[in-house]
Amino acid sequence: MSKLNAFTIPAMALAVLVSAVPAAASAQNYRPAPPYAAPAYGPAVHVYAARKNTIERRVDRALQQRRLDIRKAREFKGELISISRMERDFARGGFSRQERAQLERRIDRLESRVDREIRNDRRGPGRR
């Protein structure tokens, strides 16, 4: 009987320990960040990402529909990459008001260029 006790007691102690670990982990004082807590680089990053994704999808769709040539599509995608780099650089120290305005202007200009090119509108910029 002593051999059985020598094996059973450590096995039961191990079982108690193993089952207590998840309970101890869940008992931590963990609360997720409140939804209004914005990261240091500001909530606008999500807006920029959505706009850039929309532009990229439009360029891809126009390319597939042959409303846009490959050269222009590459040019627009290169501009998107450039905007993404600028956004990443600005995000390191947090966006200032001027940096946000600069990003928005570049995205706005790119959107209008893509629109004009897809519509095959050969009027110059600034003309309506």
Output the pLDDT for position 77. Answer: 95
Q: Which residue has the higher pLDDT, 11 or 34?
A: 11
- Is the pLDDT assigned to residue 72 strictly greater than 90? yes
Range from 18-27, 42-51, 68-77, 89-98 carrying the lowest mean pLDDT: 18-27
Q: How far is CA 83 from the centre of its chain?
A: 14
pTM, whole model, 2 decimals? 0.59
Neighbours of 80 (CB within 10 A): 20
55/110 Cα distance (integer angstroms): 8
Percent of the chain with pLDDT over 70: 63
Neighbours of 72 (CB within 10 A): 17
Q: Which residue has the higher pLDDT, 108 or 26?
A: 108
